Amino acid sequence: MLEKVVHVFFIITGGTIGFLYGPDIVHFFNLDYIKWSTSPYLSLIVFAIIFFIISYFIVGYIVGFLRWIEEGLIKLPVVDLFFGSVGLILGLVVAYLINIPIQDVGLKIVSEILPLFITIILAYLGFQVGFRRRAEFTELISVNRKERNKMETDLKNEVIPSESKSKGVRPKILDTSVIIDGRIADVCQTNFIEGTIIIPQFILGELQHIADSSDALKRNRGRRGLDILNKIQKELPIEVEIYNGDFEDVAEVDSKLVRLAQLIDGIVVTNDFNLNKVCDVQGVPVLNINDLANAVKPVVIPGEELVVQVIKDGKEKRQGVAYLDDGTMIVVEEGKNYIGETIEVIITSVLQTSAGRMIFAKPKALEQ
C-alpha cells in the first residue's frame, strides 16, 4: 500500500512540474523543435510518465526510509511524541506568520526559497524544544493540577457542615453497592450512623446508569438504590448532602470515592470487599455493612443447644443444613434423616470465614 502511495506521489509531482515548468525546461535545453513542448497539458502527461518510471527505481529506498521513521516514532514514549508534535505544530504556525511578508518581496530567491528554508528550520526547532523540554511542561501541568486540587480542598468547608466539624464527627460517604443493598437505611434509622451522609454526584450518575440498563435485574437494582436514597433523604432523621464535585482525571468510581474521602477527611461506607481493601491500603477509614452484620449476629459457643429446622442435604454424606434467623448456616452432622423436621442440636464448633460464620452441630438425640 505504501509503495502505491509513493508511485501516486511521483506521478502527481511529475505532472505538476510538467504543467508549470515543462515548456521552460524544454526551452532551456533548446528542444523547442519538439511539438509537445509548447503545450503545458502535453508536458503534464510526459513528465508524469517520466516520474512514474523514475519512481520504480527509487521506491524501495523511500519506503525503507519511511519504515525506519515509523519504527522510530513507535518506540518513542507517548509523552515525548505528544510534546514534540505540539512543538512542531507551533513551529509551523510561527513559520507561516513570518513567511507572509517575505513572500511579497520582489526578489524571487527571497520570496520562494527563503520561506521553505524558514519553515524547515522552525519546524525542526519547534520539535526539538517540545521534545527536550517535555519534563518542564509536564511539571507545569502537575502544578496546575495541584492548584485545582487545592481549590477542591477549599470546598471542604461547604461540604462538611459546621456542626459536624465542631463535634469532630467525620462525614460518611456512601458507595453504590451499599445504597443498592438497602440495609444502610435501617442502620441510619437506628441512629448508629453519626454525622452527615455524603452522596457524591458521580454515585448518583452510576445509579441512574444502572437504573436505565436494558438488563431487567440491573434496572431493578438501580431503581431500588434510588428508592433507598429517597427514603434516607426524606424519611430518616439524618442530614444528607449532595457533593457536586468530580475528579475528571480519575476514571474509576471507586478511586473517586477514595479521593473524595481523602479530600474531606470522610469515611467510606460500603459492603464491597475490593473497595474495602483499597481503602485500607490508602489509609481511608471504612465502615463495612457486612462486618457490622456479622458483628451483631447471635453468639453461639460449642456445647450450646439450639432448636433448628433441617432444610436440605449438606455437601458431605449424611449432612443436613439448617439456618438461624439471621441467615447463619448450620451444618448438622448425621442430619440427613431429619430433613423437614425441627430438632434440637448441640453446637460442636463455630467457623468464621471471610464469607461469614458457619456453625457445625449434631442432633441431640444422637448424644443421648
The per-residue pLDDT for range 206-218, each reduced to its tens digit, is: 888 888 888 888 8
The residue ranges of every structural domain in the chain are 2-135, 159-294, 299-367
Cβ within 8 Å of residue 238, ≥6 positions away = 188, 193, 196, 197, 232
The band of 341, judged by pLDDT with boundaries at 50, 70 and 90, is confident
User: Is residue 164 scored above 70 in pLDDT?
Assistant: no
Q: How many CB atoms lie within 10 A of CB 194?
A: 12
The per-residue pLDDT for range 132-160, each reduced to its tens digit, is: 776 666 666 665 565 555 555 555 544 44
Give me the phi and psi of 245, to 5 degrees please.
-75, 165
User: How confident is the model at residue 12, as a pLDDT?
Assistant: 86
**159-294 CATH, one of 3.30.930.10, 3.40.50.1010, 3.40.50.300, 1.20.140.10:** 3.40.50.1010
Q: What value does the mean pLDDT of the chain take? A: 78
User: Is residue 339 scored above 70 in pLDDT?
Assistant: yes
Calpha distance 266→316 (Å, rounded)? 46
CATH 2.40.50.140 is right for the domain spanning 299-367: yes
- Please tell me the pTM assigned to this model: 0.45
- Residue 166, H or E segment: helix 162-167
User: Is residue 194 scored above 70 in pLDDT?
Assistant: yes
What is the sign of the dihedral through the CA atoms of 240, 244, 245 and 248? positive
User: How confident is the model at residue 134, as a pLDDT?
Assistant: 65
User: How confident is the model at residue 36, as a pLDDT?
Assistant: 52
The per-residue pLDDT for range 62-118, each reduced to its tens digit, is: 888 777 877 776 666 666 777 778 888 888 888 888 888 877 776 666 666 677 778
User: How confident is the model at residue 20, as a pLDDT?
Assistant: 75
